[in-house]
Structure 1
Amino acid sequence: MSLAEIPTVLRQAALRLVLPTAVLYGVMVGLGLLVTRVLNDVWPLTAEDAVNRRFEAERDGTLNAVSLVFSTIASTSAVVAVTALVAIVLALSGCRWREPMFLIGAVSTQALIFLLTTMAIDRTRPAVEHMDTSPPTSSFPSGHTSAAVALYCGLALVLAARARRTPVKVAWWSLLVAVPVGVALTRMYRGMHHPSDVIGSFINAGTCLVIMARGVLDRTVRWGRGHLPGRRPAGRRQPSTSAA
Protein backbone atom coordinates (compact mmCIF):
# COMPACT_ATOMS: atom_id res chain seq x y z
CA MET A 1 0.00 0.00 0.00
CA SER A 2 1.45 3.36 -1.02
CA LEU A 3 1.32 6.52 1.08
CA ALA A 4 -1.13 8.02 -1.41
CA GLU A 5 -3.60 5.23 -0.66
CA ILE A 6 -3.64 5.66 3.11
CA PRO A 7 -6.19 8.54 3.31
CA THR A 8 -8.61 6.64 1.06
CA VAL A 9 -8.25 3.42 3.05
CA LEU A 10 -8.72 5.27 6.34
CA ARG A 11 -11.84 6.99 5.02
CA GLN A 12 -13.19 3.66 3.82
CA ALA A 13 -12.53 2.07 7.21
CA ALA A 14 -14.18 4.95 9.05
CA LEU A 15 -17.35 4.84 6.97
CA ARG A 16 -17.76 1.09 6.67
CA LEU A 17 -16.34 -0.17 9.97
CA VAL A 18 -15.79 2.44 12.67
CA LEU A 19 -18.97 4.50 12.25
CA PRO A 20 -21.38 1.50 12.15
CA THR A 21 -19.61 0.01 15.17
CA ALA A 22 -20.03 3.25 17.11
CA VAL A 23 -23.73 3.32 16.22
CA LEU A 24 -24.08 -0.29 17.38
CA TYR A 25 -22.51 0.62 20.72
CA GLY A 26 -25.07 3.38 21.16
CA VAL A 27 -27.88 0.95 20.34
CA MET A 28 -26.61 -1.65 22.81
CA VAL A 29 -26.33 0.90 25.61
CA GLY A 30 -29.81 2.14 24.77
CA LEU A 31 -31.18 -1.40 24.92
CA GLY A 32 -29.43 -1.96 28.21
CA LEU A 33 -30.99 1.16 29.71
CA LEU A 34 -34.42 0.09 28.48
CA VAL A 35 -34.01 -3.32 30.08
CA THR A 36 -32.64 -2.10 33.40
CA ARG A 37 -34.32 1.27 33.99
CA VAL A 38 -37.28 1.86 31.69
CA LEU A 39 -39.05 -1.42 30.94
CA ASN A 40 -37.78 -3.51 33.84
CA ASP A 41 -41.24 -3.50 35.47
CA VAL A 42 -43.09 -4.21 32.22
CA TRP A 43 -43.98 -7.60 30.70
CA PRO A 44 -42.22 -9.62 29.28
CA LEU A 45 -39.23 -8.50 31.36
CA THR A 46 -41.22 -9.18 34.52
CA ALA A 47 -41.52 -12.83 33.43
CA GLU A 48 -37.78 -13.36 33.08
CA ASP A 49 -37.28 -14.50 36.67
CA ALA A 50 -39.87 -17.23 36.15
CA VAL A 51 -37.97 -18.43 33.06
CA ASN A 52 -34.72 -18.65 35.00
CA ARG A 53 -36.41 -20.48 37.88
CA ARG A 54 -37.89 -22.96 35.41
CA PHE A 55 -34.44 -23.68 34.00
CA GLU A 56 -33.15 -24.13 37.54
CA ALA A 57 -35.92 -26.61 38.33
CA GLU A 58 -35.04 -28.72 35.27
CA ARG A 59 -31.40 -29.25 36.20
CA ASP A 60 -30.08 -32.80 36.35
CA GLY A 61 -26.79 -34.58 35.86
CA THR A 62 -27.03 -35.10 32.11
CA LEU A 63 -28.20 -31.59 31.31
CA ASN A 64 -25.56 -30.16 33.63
CA ALA A 65 -22.84 -31.98 31.69
CA VAL A 66 -24.21 -30.89 28.31
CA SER A 67 -24.56 -27.30 29.47
CA LEU A 68 -20.97 -27.32 30.69
CA VAL A 69 -19.76 -28.37 27.24
CA PHE A 70 -21.62 -25.55 25.50
CA SER A 71 -20.53 -23.04 28.11
CA THR A 72 -16.90 -24.11 27.80
CA ILE A 73 -16.70 -23.91 24.00
CA ALA A 74 -17.98 -20.33 24.21
CA SER A 75 -15.51 -19.23 26.89
CA THR A 76 -13.02 -16.51 26.04
CA SER A 77 -10.01 -18.83 25.81
CA ALA A 78 -11.85 -21.34 23.63
CA VAL A 79 -13.24 -18.69 21.28
CA VAL A 80 -9.83 -17.03 20.86
CA ALA A 81 -8.17 -20.39 20.17
CA VAL A 82 -10.82 -21.59 17.71
CA THR A 83 -10.89 -18.24 15.89
CA ALA A 84 -7.10 -18.24 15.46
CA LEU A 85 -7.06 -21.87 14.32
CA VAL A 86 -9.91 -21.41 11.84
CA ALA A 87 -8.35 -18.24 10.44
CA ILE A 88 -5.07 -20.09 9.84
CA VAL A 89 -6.85 -23.03 8.21
CA LEU A 90 -8.84 -20.71 5.95
CA ALA A 91 -5.67 -18.91 4.89
CA LEU A 92 -3.88 -22.18 4.14
CA SER A 93 -6.85 -23.66 2.29
CA GLY A 94 -6.77 -21.06 -0.47
CA CYS A 95 -8.91 -18.29 1.00
CA ARG A 96 -7.51 -14.84 0.48
CA TRP A 97 -7.23 -12.34 3.33
CA ARG A 98 -10.93 -11.43 3.35
CA GLU A 99 -12.36 -14.58 4.95
CA PRO A 100 -9.87 -14.85 7.84
CA MET A 101 -10.04 -11.11 8.50
CA PHE A 102 -13.84 -11.17 8.40
CA LEU A 103 -13.95 -13.84 11.11
CA ILE A 104 -11.29 -12.18 13.27
CA GLY A 105 -12.96 -8.78 12.83
CA ALA A 106 -16.44 -10.04 13.75
CA VAL A 107 -15.25 -11.82 16.90
CA SER A 108 -13.06 -8.90 17.98
CA THR A 109 -15.71 -6.26 17.35
CA GLN A 110 -18.45 -8.06 19.25
CA ALA A 111 -16.03 -8.48 22.17
CA LEU A 112 -15.28 -4.75 22.18
CA ILE A 113 -18.97 -3.80 22.10
CA PHE A 114 -19.74 -6.36 24.80
CA LEU A 115 -17.03 -5.02 27.09
CA LEU A 116 -17.96 -1.36 26.62
CA THR A 117 -21.65 -2.13 27.10
CA THR A 118 -21.08 -3.98 30.37
CA MET A 119 -19.08 -0.99 31.60
CA ALA A 120 -22.06 1.30 30.94
CA ILE A 121 -24.87 -1.04 32.04
CA ASP A 122 -25.05 -2.44 35.56
CA ARG A 123 -27.34 -5.47 35.72
CA THR A 124 -27.25 -8.20 38.34
CA ARG A 125 -27.28 -11.89 37.50
CA PRO A 126 -30.56 -13.84 37.78
CA ALA A 127 -31.78 -14.58 41.30
CA VAL A 128 -31.11 -18.32 41.07
CA GLU A 129 -28.18 -20.57 41.93
CA HIS A 130 -25.25 -19.79 39.66
CA MET A 131 -23.46 -22.83 38.31
CA ASP A 132 -20.42 -20.83 37.16
CA THR A 133 -18.22 -18.21 38.74
CA SER A 134 -19.51 -14.79 37.74
CA PRO A 135 -17.00 -12.62 35.89
CA PRO A 136 -16.74 -8.99 37.05
CA THR A 137 -19.06 -7.72 34.32
CA SER A 138 -22.73 -6.89 34.03
CA SER A 139 -25.26 -9.56 33.12
CA PHE A 140 -26.22 -7.58 29.99
CA PRO A 141 -25.36 -8.77 27.40
CA SER A 142 -24.09 -12.36 27.50
CA GLY A 143 -20.47 -12.49 26.41
CA HIS A 144 -20.52 -16.25 25.84
CA THR A 145 -23.55 -16.03 23.56
CA SER A 146 -22.26 -13.03 21.64
CA ALA A 147 -18.89 -14.68 21.00
CA ALA A 148 -20.54 -17.92 19.88
CA VAL A 149 -22.81 -16.10 17.42
CA ALA A 150 -19.91 -14.15 15.90
CA LEU A 151 -17.61 -17.16 15.62
CA TYR A 152 -19.91 -19.98 14.56
CA CYS A 153 -22.41 -18.02 12.47
CA GLY A 154 -19.50 -16.19 10.86
CA LEU A 155 -17.89 -19.52 10.04
CA ALA A 156 -21.19 -20.79 8.66
CA LEU A 157 -21.37 -17.75 6.38
CA VAL A 158 -17.84 -18.35 5.06
CA LEU A 159 -18.24 -22.12 4.56
CA ALA A 160 -21.70 -21.85 3.01
CA ALA A 161 -20.41 -19.25 0.55
CA ARG A 162 -17.66 -21.63 -0.55
CA ALA A 163 -20.00 -24.63 -0.89
CA ARG A 164 -21.36 -25.29 -4.37
CA ARG A 165 -24.32 -27.50 -3.50
CA THR A 166 -27.40 -26.25 -1.66
CA PRO A 167 -27.62 -29.27 0.69
CA VAL A 168 -24.06 -28.58 1.82
CA LYS A 169 -24.88 -24.93 2.46
CA VAL A 170 -27.92 -25.92 4.51
CA ALA A 171 -25.87 -28.46 6.44
CA TRP A 172 -23.23 -25.90 7.40
CA TRP A 173 -25.83 -23.40 8.57
CA SER A 174 -27.84 -26.00 10.49
CA LEU A 175 -24.79 -27.43 12.22
CA LEU A 176 -23.04 -24.21 13.16
CA VAL A 177 -26.07 -22.08 14.07
CA ALA A 178 -27.04 -24.77 16.58
CA VAL A 179 -23.94 -23.91 18.62
CA PRO A 180 -24.86 -20.33 19.64
CA VAL A 181 -28.45 -21.40 20.23
CA GLY A 182 -27.17 -24.09 22.57
CA VAL A 183 -24.86 -21.60 24.26
CA ALA A 184 -27.73 -19.14 24.81
CA LEU A 185 -29.91 -21.81 26.42
CA THR A 186 -26.94 -23.01 28.46
CA ARG A 187 -26.18 -19.60 29.91
CA MET A 188 -29.79 -19.26 31.10
CA TYR A 189 -29.88 -22.86 32.32
CA ARG A 190 -26.74 -22.32 34.39
CA GLY A 191 -28.28 -19.21 35.97
CA MET A 192 -25.80 -16.75 34.47
CA HIS A 193 -28.08 -14.65 32.25
CA HIS A 194 -31.63 -13.43 31.79
CA PRO A 195 -33.42 -14.13 28.47
CA SER A 196 -33.06 -10.48 27.44
CA ASP A 197 -29.30 -10.73 27.99
CA VAL A 198 -28.92 -13.43 25.37
CA ILE A 199 -31.31 -11.64 23.00
CA GLY A 200 -29.10 -8.57 23.28
CA SER A 201 -26.11 -10.74 22.46
CA PHE A 202 -27.70 -11.98 19.24
CA ILE A 203 -28.31 -8.35 18.27
CA ASN A 204 -24.73 -7.38 19.09
CA ALA A 205 -22.96 -10.23 17.31
CA GLY A 206 -25.42 -10.40 14.41
CA THR A 207 -24.88 -6.72 13.66
CA CYS A 208 -21.10 -7.14 13.90
CA LEU A 209 -21.32 -9.92 11.31
CA VAL A 210 -23.27 -7.64 8.97
CA ILE A 211 -20.78 -4.79 9.46
CA MET A 212 -17.79 -7.00 8.75
CA ALA A 213 -19.46 -8.75 5.83
CA ARG A 214 -20.20 -5.39 4.17
CA GLY A 215 -16.74 -4.04 4.86
CA VAL A 216 -14.55 -7.10 4.38
CA LEU A 217 -16.33 -9.96 2.59
CA ASP A 218 -17.97 -7.75 -0.05
CA ARG A 219 -15.53 -7.99 -2.95
CA THR A 220 -16.88 -4.84 -4.56
CA VAL A 221 -15.26 -2.96 -1.66
CA ARG A 222 -11.68 -2.36 -2.71
CA TRP A 223 -8.82 -2.06 -0.23
CA GLY A 224 -5.17 -1.45 -0.96
CA ARG A 225 -2.94 -1.28 -4.00
CA GLY A 226 -4.42 -1.12 -7.44
CA HIS A 227 -7.98 -0.40 -6.33
CA LEU A 228 -8.13 3.36 -5.97
CA PRO A 229 -10.52 5.24 -8.23
CA GLY A 230 -8.74 6.41 -11.37
CA ARG A 231 -5.68 4.23 -10.84
CA ARG A 232 -4.47 2.44 -13.97
CA PRO A 233 -4.21 -1.36 -13.64
CA ALA A 234 -0.63 -2.49 -13.18
CA GLY A 235 1.22 -3.51 -16.34
CA ARG A 236 -0.62 -1.19 -18.72
CA ARG A 237 0.90 1.77 -20.49
CA GLN A 238 -0.81 4.80 -21.85
CA PRO A 239 -0.69 4.89 -25.65
CA SER A 240 2.04 7.08 -27.02
CA THR A 241 0.96 10.48 -28.32
CA SER A 242 4.22 11.20 -30.15
CA ALA A 243 4.25 11.46 -33.93
CA ALA A 244 5.13 8.36 -35.89
Structure 2
Amino acid sequence: MSTFVHRYELDTSRPTVKQAARDAAMRVLLPAVALWAALVGVGFLIVGPLNDLPAGNPVEQWFADHRTPTMNTVSEWVGRLGMTEVVIGVTVLTVALVWWRTRQWWFAAVPALAVSVQSLVFITASALVTRERPDVKHLDEAPPTSSFPSGHTGASTALWFTLALLAQRITHPVLRAVVTVVCVLIPFAVAVSRLYRGMHGPADVTFGLVNGAVCVVLAWGYLRRSTPERR
Protein backbone atom coordinates (compact mmCIF):
# COMPACT_ATOMS: atom_id res chain seq x y z
CA MET A 1 0.00 0.00 0.00
CA SER A 2 2.80 2.42 0.89
CA THR A 3 4.44 1.76 -2.46
CA PHE A 4 1.20 2.49 -4.30
CA VAL A 5 0.50 5.69 -2.35
CA HIS A 6 4.02 7.08 -2.82
CA ARG A 7 4.61 5.78 -6.35
CA TYR A 8 5.15 9.27 -7.81
CA GLU A 9 7.74 10.08 -5.17
CA LEU A 10 9.58 6.77 -5.60
CA ASP A 11 9.85 7.22 -9.36
CA THR A 12 10.03 10.82 -10.59
CA SER A 13 11.15 9.94 -14.13
CA ARG A 14 9.50 12.02 -16.84
CA PRO A 15 7.30 10.14 -19.32
CA THR A 16 6.53 11.41 -22.79
CA VAL A 17 3.02 12.59 -23.56
CA LYS A 18 2.62 9.55 -25.80
CA GLN A 19 3.63 7.18 -22.98
CA ALA A 20 1.26 8.84 -20.52
CA ALA A 21 -1.62 8.75 -23.02
CA ARG A 22 -0.95 5.07 -23.78
CA ASP A 23 -0.87 4.16 -20.10
CA ALA A 24 -4.05 6.15 -19.42
CA ALA A 25 -5.85 4.30 -22.21
CA MET A 26 -4.65 0.85 -21.15
CA ARG A 27 -4.68 1.22 -17.37
CA VAL A 28 -7.67 3.55 -16.86
CA LEU A 29 -10.04 3.68 -19.80
CA LEU A 30 -10.13 -0.06 -20.49
CA PRO A 31 -10.76 -1.01 -16.83
CA ALA A 32 -13.31 1.81 -16.66
CA VAL A 33 -15.29 0.05 -19.37
CA ALA A 34 -15.56 -2.97 -17.07
CA LEU A 35 -16.62 -0.69 -14.21
CA TRP A 36 -19.25 0.89 -16.46
CA ALA A 37 -20.58 -2.51 -17.50
CA ALA A 38 -20.80 -3.62 -13.86
CA LEU A 39 -22.68 -0.47 -12.84
CA VAL A 40 -25.09 -0.75 -15.76
CA GLY A 41 -25.66 -4.41 -14.96
CA VAL A 42 -26.41 -3.65 -11.31
CA GLY A 43 -28.65 -0.76 -12.35
CA PHE A 44 -30.70 -2.92 -14.72
CA LEU A 45 -30.95 -5.54 -11.99
CA ILE A 46 -32.30 -2.94 -9.56
CA VAL A 47 -34.92 -1.45 -11.89
CA GLY A 48 -35.85 -4.87 -13.27
CA PRO A 49 -35.87 -8.14 -11.28
CA LEU A 50 -35.32 -6.38 -7.93
CA ASN A 51 -38.40 -4.22 -8.48
CA ASP A 52 -36.53 -0.95 -7.78
CA LEU A 53 -35.36 -2.17 -4.36
CA PRO A 54 -38.44 -1.41 -2.23
CA ALA A 55 -36.37 -2.32 0.85
CA GLY A 56 -34.72 1.07 0.50
CA ASN A 57 -37.98 2.98 0.80
CA PRO A 58 -38.06 3.02 4.64
CA VAL A 59 -34.61 4.62 4.67
CA GLU A 60 -35.67 7.29 2.21
CA GLN A 61 -38.86 7.96 4.15
CA TRP A 62 -37.02 8.08 7.49
CA PHE A 63 -34.78 10.88 6.26
CA ALA A 64 -37.79 12.74 4.86
CA ASP A 65 -39.67 12.40 8.15
CA HIS A 66 -36.77 13.71 10.24
CA ARG A 67 -36.02 16.90 8.38
CA THR A 68 -35.49 20.12 10.31
CA PRO A 69 -34.78 23.67 9.13
CA THR A 70 -31.26 23.49 10.54
CA MET A 71 -30.44 20.18 8.90
CA ASN A 72 -32.00 21.37 5.65
CA THR A 73 -29.44 24.18 5.58
CA VAL A 74 -26.54 21.95 6.68
CA SER A 75 -27.35 19.28 4.11
CA GLU A 76 -27.59 21.89 1.38
CA TRP A 77 -24.10 23.19 2.11
CA VAL A 78 -22.63 19.70 2.48
CA GLY A 79 -24.21 18.64 -0.79
CA ARG A 80 -22.49 21.51 -2.56
CA LEU A 81 -19.17 19.76 -2.00
CA GLY A 82 -20.32 17.30 -4.67
CA MET A 83 -21.74 19.86 -7.13
CA THR A 84 -20.26 19.91 -10.61
CA GLU A 85 -19.10 23.53 -10.34
CA VAL A 86 -17.36 22.96 -7.01
CA VAL A 87 -15.75 19.68 -8.05
CA ILE A 88 -14.45 21.15 -11.31
CA GLY A 89 -13.17 24.27 -9.57
CA VAL A 90 -11.34 22.39 -6.83
CA THR A 91 -9.96 19.90 -9.36
CA VAL A 92 -8.54 22.65 -11.57
CA LEU A 93 -7.03 24.38 -8.54
CA THR A 94 -5.53 21.09 -7.32
CA VAL A 95 -4.01 20.32 -10.73
CA ALA A 96 -2.47 23.79 -10.86
CA LEU A 97 -1.06 23.58 -7.33
CA VAL A 98 0.38 20.08 -7.78
CA TRP A 99 1.97 21.06 -11.10
CA TRP A 100 3.45 24.20 -9.53
CA ARG A 101 4.78 22.41 -6.45
CA THR A 102 6.16 19.28 -8.15
CA ARG A 103 6.81 20.42 -11.73
CA GLN A 104 5.45 17.01 -12.73
CA TRP A 105 2.60 17.42 -15.20
CA TRP A 106 2.09 13.65 -15.31
CA PHE A 107 1.41 13.63 -11.57
CA ALA A 108 -0.70 16.79 -11.66
CA ALA A 109 -2.97 15.07 -14.20
CA VAL A 110 -4.12 12.46 -11.66
CA PRO A 111 -6.97 14.46 -10.01
CA ALA A 112 -8.37 15.52 -13.39
CA LEU A 113 -8.19 11.95 -14.66
CA ALA A 114 -10.02 10.54 -11.63
CA VAL A 115 -12.82 13.12 -11.76
CA SER A 116 -13.29 13.04 -15.54
CA VAL A 117 -13.39 9.23 -15.83
CA GLN A 118 -15.84 9.05 -12.93
CA SER A 119 -18.04 11.59 -14.68
CA LEU A 120 -17.92 9.72 -17.98
CA VAL A 121 -18.90 6.43 -16.32
CA PHE A 122 -21.66 8.09 -14.29
CA ILE A 123 -23.27 10.04 -17.14
CA THR A 124 -23.35 7.15 -19.58
CA ALA A 125 -24.47 4.57 -17.00
CA SER A 126 -27.28 6.74 -15.61
CA ALA A 127 -28.49 7.52 -19.14
CA LEU A 128 -29.02 3.80 -19.74
CA VAL A 129 -30.38 2.77 -16.35
CA THR A 130 -32.88 5.67 -16.03
CA ARG A 131 -33.88 4.89 -12.45
CA GLU A 132 -36.55 7.14 -10.95
CA ARG A 133 -35.70 9.26 -7.92
CA PRO A 134 -37.14 8.39 -4.47
CA ASP A 135 -40.85 8.90 -3.96
CA VAL A 136 -40.43 11.59 -1.29
CA LYS A 137 -40.33 15.37 -1.42
CA HIS A 138 -37.15 16.55 -3.13
CA LEU A 139 -35.33 19.45 -1.53
CA ASP A 140 -33.29 20.11 -4.67
CA GLU A 141 -34.20 20.51 -8.30
CA ALA A 142 -33.61 17.16 -9.97
CA PRO A 143 -30.86 17.25 -12.63
CA PRO A 144 -31.57 15.63 -16.02
CA THR A 145 -29.58 12.50 -15.09
CA SER A 146 -31.34 9.58 -13.45
CA SER A 147 -31.02 8.46 -9.84
CA PHE A 148 -28.52 5.58 -10.31
CA PRO A 149 -25.69 5.98 -9.54
CA SER A 150 -25.39 9.20 -7.55
CA GLY A 151 -23.35 11.74 -9.48
CA HIS A 152 -22.77 14.05 -6.50
CA THR A 153 -21.47 11.14 -4.43
CA GLY A 154 -19.29 9.77 -7.21
CA ALA A 155 -17.78 13.14 -8.06
CA SER A 156 -17.04 14.03 -4.45
CA THR A 157 -15.49 10.59 -3.90
CA ALA A 158 -13.25 10.92 -6.96
CA LEU A 159 -12.07 14.35 -5.88
CA TRP A 160 -11.74 14.06 -2.11
CA PHE A 161 -10.29 10.55 -2.04
CA THR A 162 -7.63 11.78 -4.47
CA LEU A 163 -6.94 14.71 -2.15
CA ALA A 164 -6.60 12.21 0.71
CA LEU A 165 -3.89 10.42 -1.26
CA LEU A 166 -2.17 13.71 -2.03
CA ALA A 167 -2.28 14.55 1.67
CA GLN A 168 0.11 11.68 2.37
CA ARG A 169 2.93 14.02 1.26
CA ILE A 170 2.29 16.26 4.27
CA THR A 171 5.27 15.82 6.57
CA HIS A 172 3.61 16.85 9.85
CA PRO A 173 1.94 13.65 11.14
CA VAL A 174 -0.96 15.30 12.97
CA LEU A 175 -1.82 17.62 10.12
CA ARG A 176 -1.53 14.73 7.65
CA ALA A 177 -3.92 12.62 9.72
CA VAL A 178 -6.46 15.44 10.11
CA VAL A 179 -6.48 16.34 6.41
CA THR A 180 -6.74 12.68 5.43
CA VAL A 181 -9.69 11.99 7.73
CA VAL A 182 -11.54 15.11 6.58
CA CYS A 183 -11.04 14.27 2.90
CA VAL A 184 -12.19 10.67 3.40
CA LEU A 185 -15.29 11.70 5.36
CA ILE A 186 -16.54 14.37 2.95
CA PRO A 187 -17.88 11.93 0.28
CA PHE A 188 -19.80 10.00 2.97
CA ALA A 189 -21.26 13.27 4.23
CA VAL A 190 -22.29 14.15 0.68
CA ALA A 191 -23.92 10.73 0.31
CA VAL A 192 -25.95 11.23 3.50
CA SER A 193 -26.98 14.71 2.38
CA ARG A 194 -28.30 13.28 -0.90
CA LEU A 195 -30.31 10.70 1.02
CA TYR A 196 -31.59 13.36 3.42
CA ARG A 197 -32.67 15.69 0.63
CA GLY A 198 -34.63 12.94 -1.13
CA MET A 199 -32.52 12.94 -4.27
CA HIS A 200 -31.18 9.38 -4.04
CA GLY A 201 -31.77 6.03 -2.39
CA PRO A 202 -29.20 3.91 -0.52
CA ALA A 203 -28.18 1.91 -3.60
CA ASP A 204 -27.62 5.09 -5.61
CA VAL A 205 -25.14 6.60 -3.16
CA THR A 206 -23.47 3.26 -2.45
CA PHE A 207 -22.62 2.68 -6.09
CA GLY A 208 -21.75 6.35 -6.49
CA LEU A 209 -19.09 5.77 -3.83
CA VAL A 210 -17.94 2.62 -5.63
CA ASN A 211 -17.70 4.47 -8.94
CA GLY A 212 -15.65 7.30 -7.47
CA ALA A 213 -13.37 5.07 -5.40
CA VAL A 214 -12.53 2.73 -8.30
CA CYS A 215 -11.78 5.70 -10.56
CA VAL A 216 -9.40 7.10 -7.91
CA VAL A 217 -7.47 3.82 -7.77
CA LEU A 218 -7.30 3.61 -11.56
CA ALA A 219 -6.21 7.23 -11.96
CA TRP A 220 -3.59 7.05 -9.19
CA GLY A 221 -2.05 3.99 -10.82
CA TYR A 222 -2.44 5.10 -14.43
CA LEU A 223 1.23 5.68 -15.17
CA ARG A 224 3.73 2.84 -15.14
CA ARG A 225 6.27 3.51 -12.40
CA SER A 226 9.32 1.70 -11.05
CA THR A 227 8.51 1.52 -7.35
CA PRO A 228 10.79 -0.59 -5.14
CA GLU A 229 9.53 -1.21 -1.64
CA ARG A 230 10.07 1.68 0.76
CA ARG A 231 12.37 1.01 3.71
Q: TM-score, normalised by structure 2?
A: 0.85
Query: Corresponding residue for 1:231?
Result: none
1:194 to partner: Cα distance: 0.4
Amino acid at match of 1:147: A
Q: 2:56 aligned with 1:48, yes or no?
A: yes
**Deviation per CA, 1:195-241, whole angstroms, max 9, x where unpaired?**
0000010111111011111113x6339xxxxxxxxxxxxxxxxxxxx
Q: 2:170 aligned with 1:159, yes or no?
A: no
Q: Aligned to 1:184, which of 191, 203, 207?
A: 191
Query: Corresponding residue for 2:151?
Result: 143
User: Closer, same or farther in 2 for the Cα pair 1:193/1:163, shift >3 Å?
Assistant: same
Residues 118, 138 of structure 1: 8 Å contact kept: yes
Amino acid at match of 1:136: P
User: Closer, same or farther in 2 for the Cα pair 1:148/1:95, shift >3 Å?
Assistant: farther
User: Closer, same or farther in 2 for the Cα pair 1:95/1:185, shift >3 Å?
Assistant: farther
Q: TM-score, normalised by structure 1?
A: 0.81
Separation (CA, whole Å) in 1 of partners of 2:126 and 2:95: 28
Query: Corresponding residue for 1:219?
Result: 225
Amino acid at match of 1:199: T
1:29 to partner: Cα distance: 0.5
Residues 131, 190 of structure 1: 8 Å contact kept: yes
Q: Aligned to 2:43, which of 19, 32, 35?
A: 32
Partner SS, residue 212 of structure 1: helix
Instruction: Give the stretch that moved more between structures: 125-134 or 165-174.
Output: 165-174
1:178 to partner: Cα distance: 1.5
Residues 99, 158 of structure 1: 8 Å contact kept: no
Separation (CA, whole Å) in 1 of partners of 2:29 and 2:153: 23
Partner SS, residue 102 of structure 2: coil
Higher helix share: 2
1:158 to partner: Cα distance: 1.1
Structure 1 alignment gaps of length 5 or more: 222-244
Kindly, what percent of the aligned residue pairs are identical? 36
Q: Aligned to 2:108, which of 100, 116, 121?
A: 100
Instruction: Give the stretch that moved more between structures: 193-202 or 87-96.
Output: 87-96
1:60 to partner: Cα distance: 0.6
Q: Aligned to 2:29, which of 14, 18, 25?
A: 18
Instruction: Give the stretch that moved more between structures: 45-54 or 133-142.
Output: 45-54
Residues 20, 106 of structure 2: 8 Å contact kept: no
Amino acid at match of 2:225: R
Amino acid at match of 2:200: H
Amino acid at match of 2:40: V
CA RMSD between the two structures = 2.0
**Deviation per CA, 1:48-95, whole angstroms, max 9, x where unpaired?**
111011001111111011101011221111111111112112222235
Q: 2:182 aligned with 1:175, yes or no?
A: yes
Partner SS, residue 164 of structure 1: coil
Structure 2 alignment gaps of length 5 or more: 1-15
**Deviation per CA, 1:13-65, whole angstroms, max 9, x where unpaired?**
43212211111111111111121112236xxx332111011001111111011
Structure whose CA Rg is larger: 1
Query: Corresponding residue for 1:227?
Result: none
Amino acid at match of 2:42: L
Query: Corresponding residue for 2:96?
Result: 88
Separation (CA, whole Å) in 2 of partners of 1:144 and 1:37: 24
More relative contact order, 1 or 2 (CA 8 Å, 6+ apart) = 2
